[in-house]
Every structure is written in structure tokens, then in C-alpha cells.
Amino acid sequence: MAEFLQFLFSGLTVGAVYALVALGFTLIHNASGVVNFAQGEFVMLGGMITVFAAQAGLPLAVAAGVAIGVTALVGVALYRLAIAPAGSASVVSIIIITMGASLFLRGTAQSVFDKQIHRFPAFSGETPITIGGATLMPQSLWVLGGAAVVFVALHRFLAHTLPGKAVLATASNKLAAQLVGINTHAVLLLAFGLSAAIGAVAGVLITPLTMTTADMGVSVALKGFAAAMLGGMGIPVGAIVGGLGLGLIEAFTAGYLSSAYKEATAFLVILVVLVLMPRGLFGPKDVERV
Amino acid sequence: MLETRALRSAYGRIEVLHGIDLVVREGETVALVGANGAGKTTLMRALAGVQPVCGGEAWFRGRALARVPAWRRVGLGLAHVPEGRQIFCDLTVEDNLRLGAWATDRTHVAEGLAEAYQMFPVLGEKRRLPAGGLSGGQQQMLALARALMARPVCLLLDEPSMGLAPALIDEIFDVIAGLARRGLTVVLVEQNAAVALSVADRAYVLENGVITLEGAASDLVKDDRVRAAYLGI
Ligand SMILES: Nc1ncnc2c1ncn2[C@@H]1O[C@H](COP(=O)(O)OP(=O)(O)OP(=O)(O)O)[C@@H](O)[C@H]1O
Ligand SMILES: [Mg+2]
């Protein structure tokens, strides 16, 4: 039982990070139809900027705020400088641009910061909480709580506010969005900025547990992408369930089988789900579109 | 109200509008008639701001449009219902309508919704359903109703009857005629020239990107060239 709880806790914690990354994918995909493979770099920037801002003498909370703000600006710049100029290029070309941007951001971070492994202290101390024989780091609660807050806020924004619907409208039909008076450029800037900020939040929350390096973005992006696909690309609930599901599968496989199999198992499950439900667990069932 | 002078537009290097002079006065209904590929849609899109213009000028209510992006034109009172019912399939019918009022100060949304549902009761019945599930005719109604949510003073309508059953065509044109009677300025593109000329005050004939004829709709109906080419008489 203690063992089971232990795997559950670690699975949920990692899963919450995947979920946040998947939410970032979801937001940009919702506004633009693009899958932004630079999403993982936002997570990296969140952690790395916090590390270096704190080293420069800022209190940790301020450093984290700076990191999230700067990363949001990087997201906006990514759209302004790399995506918008591509104009009406195909979605595939734009996805490739985001991959290039990912390489660029990683290289820049390696030279601006360094290639070392970093961490900063957990927010509420490092004393583990014992539950049913398993230990839970207080930081894990921060990660889970952070993911919950971001999810609820994003869901409310998209489903219950007119600006949120303007984001969905821009994704659904950009021409029609312009014709009702939506400034689609502004919507896309907002989506990239918010999405980058969400990634940075994930980076800030997870660094005390997993540490960070300038090259951690790629694997995070892949996991977040897998989580988003598992849940259904573009669907906030899907991002959460997909992220937590992926984290749990990995944790239980690593715990009960071997950590050598955890990624293979996770991708096997995703493969099976996508064969059975091509648009993910929460994806629309009707494939037909008029 | 709406005027163009020597307006040109191209797709890449291929120019398809070769200098269009158009005048639409306040309260008028103006029809644009022309064969497939004449450039009617291109002209409407250029007026709405979603098609690049490569020469000439356009004014709306005395204001030069050249530097006004499409999304700002709606707020000025110029609304465009594009060819082929461009609705937000993933959003509900009501959300489509609410977004129609995006460019306004949004004090008239409830009123606008009530008018839309009165005009097209079927939209009211389906207001909580995804718009993508509407039939073609219902989507056309939604596209028109959504444009009206912006309370425009001038409406650009590109083939509102495309793909509709005859009964629905009558319904849509009744609505358009009603709007025109209420003083809305309408620019109407329509395959069915007979219908277009019957609701319009004036009309332009567009051939291969140039205007070849213009005049009162009642005169054009009697014009031999128009009768032969567009009315099939
Ligand atoms: N996206 C495009 N790219 C290149 N050429 C285009 C494009 N759209 C239209 N054209 C060309 O521009 C010309 C005018 O097309 P337009 O759609 O404006 O005609 P139309 O009068 O609206 O025709 P229809 O009655 O069929 O709707 C045509 O010769 C067409 O081939
Ligand atoms: Mg056309």
C-alpha cells in the first residue's frame, strides 16, 4: 500500500507538469491550429531564469515572477518574429519553425546561462509529509495546486468569457473572426504569451523537485505533446487527464516493472488509445466537418 | 457611403480586378452581377479588407479604407457576409451571434439576439447547439444574422442564396428586402441575376475584372445584353 501510494504521488506530480505543458499546447493549438514544439523551452526558461534571477539577489518569489513575465514576452516574440512573418504558410511549415525556435532558445539559454544542473529551494520547506507510509514532498502539492489553478482559470476563460470565445473563434475560422471585428493578430499574441507563461509556471514549480538544465525542454515538450494527444489536442480537460494519465503510467511502470520500460509503456498506451480514438480520449467523436 | 476609384486587386502576380469604380449611396441596394470568375467575390473581399488591394482607392463614409484593417471596418459599420457561410463550426449558434457583436460596444447584444431569433426562429431553437451541425441553409441564416449583430450601416452580401432550396432563397431575400426597407445599405452579389435585380435599386455588371455596365436595376433588366448573358432570355 505504501508502495502504491508512493508511485501514485510521484506519478501525479510528474503528470501535473505534463498537464501544464499540454495546456500550453492546447491554448496555442486552439488559437492557431499550430502545435508549438517550443513549448518545452518555456518550461526550461521558467526554471532557469528563476535560478539566475535568484542568484542575482532577487527574493525567490520575485525571481519566479520575473521568470514567468520574461518567458511570456519570449512567447510573444516567438509569435511576432517567427510565426507571424510566415503568414499563410502551411501548418506543417509553422510546426517546423517552432522546432527551429526550440533549438534556438535552447542554444541561447546554454550560452546566456550555462550547461550546469540547477535548482532552488522548495517553496514550503523540504520536510516530506508521510501519508500511509509513503512520503510526499510539500513541493508536489504546489505542483498539483498550480496545475489545478491554471486549468480552472484557462477553462473559465475559454468557455465562459467572450474574449476566450474570440480565441476559439480565431482557431475555428480566422477569416470569419476578422469579419466580426476580432483582431486576430492580438489573439495570437495573447495565446502565445499566455501559453509561454503557463510553461514557465510549470518550470518554476517543478525545478525544486527535478532540477533544471538548459537542455531539459525537448523531453518535456515531447511528454506534454504526448499528453495533449492522449487527451485530445485542443481540449483543456483532455490536457489535464492526458498529463496525469501519462505521469501515472510512467510512475507505475517504473515502480512495478522497471524504469527502463516506463517510456515504452507510456507510448504503447498512447498508441493504442490513438488507434481506437484517433482524436484522443476527449476529442470530438464526429470526424465530419462542414 | 461606399466608393472605389480604379481599385485593383491581384492573386500573386495575376491581377483579377482591373480598376473598379463603384459608388454606393446611403440606403441603396446595389447588385453586382457577373459570370463565374468575373471577380465579384474578390471585389467584396477587397471592400471588407480581407483581400489585398494593389492599386486605386476606396472610401467608406468619407474615410479612406487603405490603411484600415479588416477587423476595424466592422466597427465602422461595414459588415461582410462572405461567400460560403464562414461560421464558427466549433462554437454554439448563440456564441456565433454574440461574437457578431464583438466590434460593438455590446450594449445591444440581448436586443440583437432577440431580433435574430425572431428573424430566423430555427436559430433560436438551436441556439445551444454547435453551429457546425446546422444545415447549409441554417448556416447561411446564421452568417447573415451574425453580421447584423454588429449593427452595420452597410452590408456586403456574397451569394446569400448559394446552395439553398427555392423556399429558403425566398425567405433570405425577404429578410434582405426588409433590411433594405429599414434603410440599411446593401451590396449584393448573386448568381441568380433575376432575383438580384428584383431587389436592387441599381446594379453593376462585372466582366473579367472590369465594370462593363451600370444603371438602375429596372433598366438593366430590360437591357438586351444583360437579358442574353445573365437572365437567359
Ligand atoms: N485564391 C485565389 N487564388 C488565385 N486566383 C483566384 C483565387 N480566388 C479567385 N481567383 C481568380 O480570380 C478571379 C475572380 O474570382 P472571384 O472568386 O472573385 O470570382 P466571382 O465573380 O466571385 O465568381 P463566382 O461567381 O464563381 O463566385 C477568377 O479568375 C479566379 O480564378
Ligand atoms: Mg464569388
DSSP result, chain A = -HHHHHHHHHHHHHHHHHHHHHHHHHHHHHHHS---TTHHHHHHHHHHHHHHHHHTT--HHHHHHHHHHHHHHHHHHIIIIIIGGGTT--HHHHHHHHHHHHHHHHHHHHHHS-SS-B----TT-SPPEEETTEEE-HHHHHHHHHHHHHHHHHHHHHHHSHHHHHHHHHHH-HHHHHHTT--HHHHHHHHHHHHHHHHHHHHHHHHHHH-B-TT-HHHHHHHHHHHHHHH-TT-HHHHHHHHHHHHHHHHHIIIII-GGGHHHHHHHHHHHHHHHSTT-TTS-S-----
Residue of B18, B20, B33, B36 with the most ligand 1 atoms within 8 Å of its CB, for mutation: B36
Is residue B209 in contact with ligand 1, taking CB distance under 6 Å?
no
pLDDT value for A31: 85
Residue A145 lies in a domain: yes
- Asked if the C-beta of B68 comes within 8 angstroms of chain A's C-beta atoms, the answer is no
Domain containing residue A38: 24-228
Positions of chain A with pLDDT under 50? 287-290
- Asked if the C-beta of A287 comes within 8 angstroms of chain B's C-beta atoms, the answer is no
pLDDT single digits (tens) B15-49: 999 999 999 999 999 999 998 899 999 999 999 99
pLDDT single digits (tens) B80-106: 999 987 999 989 999 999 999 999 988
CB within 8 A of A71, min separation 6: which ones? Answer: A42, A45, A46, A49, A196, A197, A199, A200, A203
Cβ pairs bridging A and B (under 8 Å): 78
Is residue B138 in contact with ligand 1, taking CB distance under 6 Å?
no
* Cβ contact B80–A166 (<8 Å): no
Q: What atom of ligand 1 comes closest to residue B206's alpha carbon?
A: 21
pLDDT value for A288: 45
Residue A65 lies in a domain: yes
Residue A215 lies in a domain: yes
Q: Which amino acid type is present at position B71?
A: W
Residue A282 lies in a domain: no
Positions of chain B with pLDDT under 70? 233
How many structural domains is chain A composed of? Answer: 1
Mutation site for B-interface testing, chosen from A158, A165, A180 by largest number of B Cβ within 10 Å:
A180
Residue A209 lies in a domain: yes
Residue A245 lies in a domain: no
Residue A201 lies in a domain: yes
pLDDT value for A286: 54
ipTM for this prediction: 0.91
Distance to chain B for A100, nearest Cα, Å: 28
Residue A289 lies in a domain: no
